[in-house]
Amino acid sequence: MRCRWTILVFFIMLAGLSSCISPREIVVDIYEPPPINILDSLDTIMVVARFPASEWTTYYNRSNRILKEEEINKVQAAQQAIAGFQDKTKEEESPVAAGIVNWIDTLTLHGDPFPPPLDSSTLIFLCKHHKGPLALISLESFSYQTKKRYSTYKRYVREKQNKIWSKTKLYNVQPVIMQQARFVAYAKIGWRIYDCSGKQAIFEKQLTDSAVYEMDGSTKKEIEKKLPSPEVAVEDAAYLAGRRFAEYILPSYRTEVRYYYGAGNRLLHKTKKQVKFRQWSRAQKLWETALSDQNVKKKNKARLLYNLALVEEMKGNRLKALHLMDKAVSLFPGAGMIRYRNLIEKETKENL
- Has residue 344 got a pLDDT over 90? yes
Domain that includes residue 48, residue range: 38-143+187-210+224-251
Q: Which residue has the higher pLDDT, 289 or 133?
A: 289
Based on the fold, state whether residues 74 and 203 are members of the same structural domain.
yes
% of the chain surpassing 90 pLDDT:
38
pLDDT band at 170 (very low <50, low <70, confident <90, very high): low
The verdict on 311 and 198 lying in the same domain is no
Residue 293, pLDDT > 60, answer: yes
Q: Rounded mean pLDDT of the chain? A: 82
Contact 301, 291 (CB under 8 A): yes
Q: Are residues 287 and 338 in the same domain?
A: yes
DSSP string, 138-169: EEEEEEEEEEEEEEEEEEEEEEEE--TT----
Residue 21 located in a structural domain: no
- Distance of alpha carbon 289 from alpha carbon 91, whole angstroms: 40
Q: For residue 287, give the CATH number of its domain.
A: 1.25.40.10
Residue 25 lies in a domain: no
Q: Does residue 42 sit in the same domain as residue 133?
A: yes
> In the predicted model, is pLDDT for residue 14 greater than 80?
no
Is position 274 within any domain?
A: yes
Verify that 138 and 65 share a domain, yes or no.
yes
Are both 281 and 346 inside the same structural domain?
yes
Question: Which CATH number belongs to the domain containing residue 70 in this structure?
Answer: 3.30.160
Give a yes or no: residue 318 inside a domain. yes
Tell me the CA distances in angstroms from 65 to 52, 58, 69, 75, 219, one per residue in order.
20, 10, 10, 17, 34
Q: How confident is the model over 297-301, as a mean pLDDT? A: 91
Are 308 and 204 found together in one domain? no
Report the predicted TM-score, pTM, of the whole model to 2 decimal places: 0.71
Count of domains for the chain: 2
- Residue 270 predicted with pLDDT over 50: yes
Domain membership of residue 52 (yes or no) is yes
Q: Which of 127-136, 263-272, 279-288, 289-298 has the highest mean pLDDT?
A: 279-288
Domain's final residue, options 251, 269, 301: 251
* Percentage of the chain modeled with pLDDT above 70: 81
Of 37-41, 119-123, 313-317, the poorest mean pLDDT is in: 37-41
The answer as to whether 10 is a domain residue is no
| Inter-helix orientation angle 280-291/298-315, to 10° | 150
- Average pLDDT (239-244) is 94
Shared-domain flag, residues 127 and 235: yes
Residues 269 and 202 in one domain: no
State CA 322 to chain mean position distance. 22
The predicted model gives 217-238 an average pLDDT of 92
How far is Cα 148 from Cα 191, in angstroms, rounded to an integer?
A: 28
27, part of any domain: no
On whether both 78 and 133 belong to a single domain, the answer is yes
Question: pLDDT, tens digit, for every residue of 180-205?
Answer: 999 999 999 999 999 888 788 999 99
- Segment 112-121 mean pLDDT: 84
> How far apart, in whole angstroms, are the C-alpha atoms of residue 346 and residue 340?
10
Look at residue 15 and tell me whether its pLDDT is greater than 50. no
- Band (pLDDT 50/70/90 cuts) for residue 111 is low
Query: Does the pLDDT value for residue 11 go beyond 50?
Result: no
233 plus 139 within the same structural domain: yes
**193 and 314 within one domain:** no
Residue 18's pLDDT is what? 43
- In the 8-state DSSP scheme, what is residue 79? H
296: in domain: yes
Distance CA(326)–CA(322), nearest Å, equals 6
